[in-house]
Amino acid sequence: MHGTIVILGGSGAMTSSCAYDLAGTSDADEIVIADADERNARKLIDIVDDERIRFEAVDATDADDIASTLSGADYAVNGLPYRFEENVLDAMVSVGGIDAVDLNAFEFDAVLDRSAEFAGADCRLWFANGGLVSTIVLGLLGCRSFDSVSDVNFYWGMWRLLTQTTPGLTDTVTYEHDPTVDERIRWETGEVIDDLPAFGHERTFTFPEPIGTQETYVLTHPEPVTFPKAPVADETGVERVITRGVWHPEWECYERTLHAMDAFEADPLSVAGADGAGGDRDVDVDPLDVMQRQIKRAGTEEEWRPPTELSPETDWTPQTILSAEVTGTVEGRRETAVLHLTQPFPFFDGHDITLMREYGSYVGVPLSVTLQLLAAGDVDAEGVFVTETSGVDPDRYVEEMERRGFELSSERRGVS
């Protein structure tokens, strides 16, 4: 994998492990950490300790500035928040000749509709990347072991305390629970059924420890939209797809409290003397925004510390466990296959780091692995595509993840 790689938002919680892995496993000539946060980018560069890696400031609000950063790049990783997605896509097309992976997964139709435009600019974009690649691969592996499949259930176990967070993750979790959002979906016999209720479609599921057996509920994740596009889903006649998840009880309690206090649709509160100028002028305050800001402030991590000191509040390691449960028929027997992917700890080889950068390896490492598979010719898709239509070999992906310390476990049981 020769050439220049630009990682947009490269020093963030979800992308730092991508930069670290690319430096340790690829033959890239240059790796550019493109970010607005120079302080943390420099810290990351210090622990990578590789002459090929450098920092470049980028203004994500300016598509032209992103294009300037991408100029001369052969590969790109987009780890910027979704609000900058259009700028990133415009910049990639204007530069041209870039193979890229993108952790964002919102506005599917709008992004996939640009596939011909990307192909015309000699660009390829693996959209809905990161942890979603892992769940889809687990589903692919499960389905191919059956003659026919009735149900594919995806599960996300996101196990961290309320104050173990980032601004982006805080917004994402609360978006997942917003009762006004219509993106909680399931797929059944060719039809997408949307507008499912928050905390709805509960199902008991057992994750590996430390999560264990939990009541999961439907998420605003795209697997029900994308997984039916997989050839193996068509070949095995998959009938139903849904994605559920669970957060640590502190998060669930917080989100249920927001529901109970009607925070998502509440009118602003008028607070006397809140103008910050020492006066007595009333200021309108959004209750939800205040709650979210406090969670983000409490989760701020300034200090990079040894891995053993990252979560003194718990006797378990904060982590995300990804799982798929596939039910079908093989040789006349009805069975269920359950697959789990767990992340390693520590990932950064014992270097001082922040908790959320360690936690984010379930996103960052897939970004690195998939970019390298794309560069190696293991993907035959053009334009904009998702994992299901990429042509990637699930076994190859798992092999690369296991090489980096991730662990695949599985079980199989009969269904009466």
The string of DSSP codes covering 288-322 is: HHHHHHHHHHHT-----B-GGGS-TT-SS--EEEE
| pLDDT score at 106 | 80
Strand 283-285, strand 407-414: pairing:
unpaired
Does residue 272 surpass a pLDDT of 70? yes
| pLDDT score at 245 | 98
Neighbours of 158 (CB within 10 A): 23
Cis (ω within 30 of 0) for the bond into 167?
no
pLDDT tens for 82-101 read 899 999 999 999 999 999 99
Does residue 410 surpass a pLDDT of 70? yes
> CATH number of the domain at 131-257+301-361+393-414, please?
3.30.360.10
Cis (ω within 30 of 0) for the bond into 228?
no
Task: Tell me the pLDDT of the chain averaged across its residues.
Answer: 95
| pLDDT score at 20 | 98
Using the structure block, give the residue that is written with the tokens 């199989």.
Answer: 412
pLDDT tens for 200-232 read 999 999 999 999 999 999 999 999 999 999 999
Distance separating alpha carbons of residues 84 and 175, to the nearest angstrom: 17
Residues in the chain: 416
- How does residue 302 score in pLDDT terms, banded at 50, 70 and 90? confident
Distance separating alpha carbons of residues 70 and 49, to the nearest angstrom: 23
Neighbours of 58 (CB within 10 A): 24
pTM: 0.95
pLDDT tens for 145-174 read 999 999 999 999 999 999 999 999 999 999
CA neighbor of 364 nearest in space, from 396, 398, 393, 401: 401
| pLDDT score at 276 | 59
Rounded average pLDDT over 176-197: 95
| pLDDT score at 415 | 85
Contacts 24+ apart (CB under 8 A), 287-291: 287/261, 287/263, 288/174, 288/258, 288/263, 288/264, 291/254, 291/258, 291/263
Spatial contact of 355 and 318, defined as CB atoms under 8 Å apart: yes
Spatial contact of 365 and 347, defined as CB atoms under 8 Å apart: yes
Rounded average pLDDT over 269-273: 83
| pLDDT score at 205 | 98
Rounded average pLDDT over 311-330: 96
Does residue 275 surpass a pLDDT of 70? no
pLDDT tens for 342-399 read 999 999 999 999 999 999 999 999 999 999 999 999 999 999 999 999 999 999 999 9
Q: For the packed helices 131-143 and 394-403, what is the interaxial angle rounded to 10 degrees?
A: 130
Helix (H) or strand (E) holding 54: strand 53-57
State the span(s) of the chain assigned CATH 3.30.360.10: 131-257+301-361+393-414
| Percentage of the chain exceeding pLDDT 90 | 93
Q: C-alpha dihedral over 367, 373, 375, 379, to 10 degrees?
A: -110
Does residue 278 surpass a pLDDT of 60? no
Does residue 274 surpass a pLDDT of 70? no
Rounded average pLDDT over 283-288: 93
User: DSSP letter at 117?
Assistant: H
CA neighbor of 103 nearest in space, from 7, 31, 37, 32: 7
Using the structure block, give the residue that is written with the tokens 């917003």.
Answer: 178
CA neighbor of 154 nearest in space, from 89, 225, 97: 225
Helices (H), ranges, 155-235: 167-177, 223-226, 231-235
| pLDDT score at 280 | 67
State the span(s) of the chain assigned CATH 3.40.50.720: 4-126
Tell the CATH topology of 4-126.
Rossmann fold (3.40.50)
User: DSSP letter at 83?
Assistant: G
pLDDT tens for 20-35 read 999 999 999 999 999 9
Helix (H) or strand (E) holding 369: helix 361-375
| pLDDT score at 412 | 95
CA neighbor of 206 nearest in space, from 198, 217, 214, 195: 214
